[in-house]
Amino acid sequence: MMELKKALALENFAQTVYRKCDCCKRVRDIYFRLNIRDAKSTSMLVGSLELCKDCGYNMGDITNANVSTEKVLEEFNFE
Residue 67 in contact with Zn ion, rule: CB under 5 A: no
CA distance 50 to 17: 10
Tell me, residue by residue from 12 to 31, as one string, x for binding to Zn ion by CB under 5 A and - for no binding: ---------x-xx-------
CA distance 49 to 24: 11
Residue 10 in contact with Zn ion, rule: CB under 5 A: no
CB of 20 to Zn ion, least distance (A): 9
Give the pairing of strands 45-52 and 8-20: unpaired
Q: In terms of CB distance, is 29 or 42 closer to Zn ion?
A: 29
